[in-house]
Structure 1
Amino acid sequence: MRVLVTGNQGYLGTVMVPELVRAGHEVTGLDSGFFAECVLGTAPAPPPQLRVDLRDVTVDQLAGFDAVVHLAALSNDPLGALTPRITYDINHTASVRLARLAKDAGVQRFLYASTCSVYGAAGSDLVAEDAPLRPLTPYAESKVRVEDDVAALADSGFTPVFLRNATAFGFSPRLRADIVLNNLVGYAVLTGEVKVLSDGTPWRPLVHARDIARAFAVCLTAPAPAVHCRAFNVGAETNNLTVAEIAQAVVAAVPGSRLVITGESGADPRSYRVDFAAARRELGFEASWDIPAGAAELAHEYTARGLTADGFFHRFTRLAHLTALKDAGVLDDDLRRSRIEA
């Protein structure tokens, strides 16, 4: 299958592409390159690449692909809160436009990276795919809007699939340090403290980046009736933990570290536990990584690859890195480069 992966030079895309290649797919990447150089250690060999802003994709660039895996987005809630207009422009408007162009180009399957954060303040009860969506941030709201608008495009020749990923964790050569487990392990390795800024009580579902990649690979080749215009939660119930419980796993993985719950950011309203049974039952997919294994992996990789405080707080933190690119004149106020090379 010929597959286009948008955002292939990001945290998830860098793990996704090798997984799809191993599964026998012919993969091309599409990325603006904002994070291409944000590498800890050695980046994997790149696939054939389209260097283009998501907002500027053309139907001709999508011609000939059997499927699109759409990962590209402005990721995480702090960045979305800082630039809500651009978040909606890229995450919502450009994503729906991409799906329409893909359909026009004859692409048959469109896999969209959504998020479990669409459930918002769901409390302690397990929520399945049919639960009410209560997005609390521009980032989560943009994901809900894309699901709604792309679902309207579905027909006998165009199968969208919405993968609602739990919060990602785990090592990727293009690291993200601003997601909860990756962040807590980084603090522990660099400072000896596992620092929690909230009160530690919110529930979070987590899933390893490699398990996300495996779930997408399953959905690429699943029979169309099984996935047509469906949403699937991606993760495992055993990885539904409070932030304090996640932090305790980090303390266990990093010898000599200690837990510090500051509570300075107050109670976080984003709290939800997720039911992942549908993907197991209907797709045969089951996540394999748990939090202790992921924390140990991250601690090992951070140490072996020489993670520094500068890298952790700047190059591998989305908001800080994009701010630095703007301050250097590389990006304008709309997060566009002065020139994108094809």
Structure 2
Amino acid sequence: MPIEVGIWKVNGGIKKVDFSVIESERKLEDILSKDLSILSDDLLLIGRQVQTEYGKYLDMLAIDGEGNLHIIELKKNRAPREVVAQALDYASWVQNLSYDQVLRIYEDKNNCPLEEAFAEKFDDSLPDKLNDTHQITIVSSQLDSETERIINYLSNNYDVPINAVFFRYFEEGEQLFLTRSWLLDPNVIDEKSSNTKVENKKEKWNKQDFVVNFEDKASRKWEDAVKYGFISAGGGRWYSRTLNQLFVGARIFCMIPKSGYVGIGTVIETVKPIKDVTFKVNETDVKMSDLNLKATNMFHDVEDLEKCEYVVKVKWSANVSKEEAYWVKGLKANQNSAYKLRSQYTIDKVLEFFELNTDE
């Protein structure tokens, strides 16, 4: 049984504040919608009254900082055992929601992209994979003994990630109070979150676009990359190996870490160690070592194929200086030198910034 919570007013004499029945599930829903941290600080509301493909309406759907979904079912008074079956039915629908469906539900309910709201809430970009796991929370003022036994049975014996939270609603004059207690430890339920086997939880890759991180420092300068048409990475195989993904014709969205996106281009020659790279200058092939580069240490470890700089030649479609770099919350970022860009939101926003259309 959850811990029973009581409230006493102690100024001007001791008086117990009586528990009141909340007027409606809608009022409880309104309260939680205004501040879902009443349930958990790690939740962002996706939407209220979300319609399933079966024609039923899920009270509230939320997402946590790991990209996992939370089904919240509300009952203003005692929660009968039927509510468990109802919540499980909703979960059977939620577990199959794809990445794109989650984005669409949020945008339909809020008229703004989930990427922006997620970044604002969690100060991080939206994960590449959403809805890997899910949880069920039944919210009520009371729970009958049958329902409690069912929840305990499902959680303890079958690791179903289901929990119940009890709200008590108190009124004292014009002041309103809400208290909360859990049936089961929420941290234990986190560990029970069921892994799904659906393969469409990642945003689809368009088989063309990559992000490239370009560290602007002594071993490489963005001015050189713009002037001659290249991107590079080095200092160890961990940094340079991901450049092997870049094929001729691939589109790259170049970003300077901690600054933002500075260019979009197309790969015209795959990765090579710097000593093997040449550029056409006045119709003559010129070794990179003979170029007038701003970078003062680009030829570090030039004979060491493990640590040397590796270069990919690029034709730029658009670029700006480091000082003009573009960044807004919700754009995709990653520590790898090159990685597949799955975020359509990032693609659209960066193309818009550079005034390029989707065909360029």
TM-score (norm 1): 0.23
TM-score (norm 2): 0.22
Q: Hey, which of these two has a bigger chunk of strand by percent?
A: 2
Q: Hey, which of these two has a bigger chunk of helix by percent?
A: 1
